[in-house]
Structure 1
Amino acid sequence: MDDEPVVTILLLGNANCGKSTFLSRLASSQPPHRLLPDTAQPIPLTTTLYNRSYRLEFSDTACPHRHYSLLDPDVVVLCYDISDRQSLQDAQHRWRKEV
């Protein structure tokens, strides 16, 4: 559908907090979930909200070819590892300031 609005979404957070794993699960709903190569980004997902289709394009900060500060996303999702207190603190103090 050509008139689908595109919403770019950036997952931002510390290394190894699960951003790439989350994107791999989005890209492949059937197990086994394999990490996708960085060149596979952005990960497209089409969804419907109030009878209108939207194309969501997910990227994360692990992609070395496109630095996150150059992406200019519509939405930023701050990510952290629930088993790593430093990851949460960095989301609150470091990554929030970056946004």
Structure 2
Amino acid sequence: MDEVEKISITVCGDGGCGKSSITLRLVRSQWTSEYDPTIEDSYSVTRTIDGRSHLLMLTDTAGQEEYRGLWAASNLQSDAFLLVYDITNAASLDALDYFMEMIEMETDRRLDEGGVPPVKIVAGNKCDLQSQRMVRSQQGLEWARNRKCGYMETSAREMVNIEETFALLIRRVVEARKLQATGGVAPVDNRTKALTPPSDPEKPKTTIDPSKVNKRRNDNFWSKLKCW
């Protein structure tokens, strides 16, 4: 029997952006509309990706400013970070700067020591609330690009891109570890291949070179919420 590979993931972001909802959707396949501020919760769940089992050790961290000082050093030791903001709250995207600053310092430390830099993916959550959107998809995408992160839009309520986001985190961690094991240089740039960015209803659709896009023949709205 193949050994289960362990991967630690820290979920961070401003209070109320849906970190716990995303985590519980993955772990328990449930969603709740009640907001209960989290100081810190830990979960574990197994997922099989590309034929191999992975034990995900998830840490759902505090987002409120009064709790951020409680961020344990162990949180920064994670293999990957999921930085979550709320597309209906522009301030929640700005709040990611605090977490990104700490993650970038940790990235520099690992590189100086010859370690594997952490994988980083930004998730614009609550994409089901299109009528309340305050952060355009392109804004979130550019924020992630400028900080060398992957990008997704998610909905814990509608179970949109939850499994896909964590599958992507797993694949990026596995790739970085393989490079390290073979003497290669693990990429600092954890961005994913540029696919069709999620469409904003108020913004004209951007023309993209078909040869560079993985197209799915599906007119469903949710199929447009691709990963970058």
RMSD (Å) for aligned C-alpha atoms? 3.2
Structure with the greater alpha carbon radius of gyration? 2
Counterpart Cα distance in 2 of 1:10 and 1:73: 6
Q: What is residue 97 of structure 1 aligned with on the other side?
A: 101
Q: Please list, as runs of the form range in 1=range in 2, the aligned pairs for 1:1-99 lying within 5 A after superposition.
A: 3-30=3-30, 41-62=41-62, 67-71=71-75, 72-91=77-96, 93-99=97-103
- Bigger relative contact order (CA 8 A; separation at least 6): 1
Q: Normalization by structure 2: what TM-score?
A: 0.36
Larger strand proportion of the pair:
1
Larger helix proportion of the pair:
2
List alignment gaps of at least 5 residues for structure 1: none
Q: How many residues end up aligned between the 2 structures?
A: 96
List alignment gaps of at least 5 residues for structure 2: 104-228
Q: Normalization by structure 1: what TM-score?
A: 0.74
Counterpart Cα distance in 1 of 2:35 and 2:2: 29
> Runs ≥4 in structure 1, deviation > 2 angstroms?
30-36, 66-71
Q: What is residue 189 of structure 2 aligned with on the other side?
A: none
Shift of 1:27: 2.5
Residues 84 and 69 (structure 1 numbering): CA distance in 2 closer, same or farther, change over 3 Å?
farther
Shift of 1:55: 0.8
Shift of 1:95: 1.8
Q: Per the alignment, in what secondary structure is the counterpart of residue 95 of structure 2?
A: helix
Identity %: 28
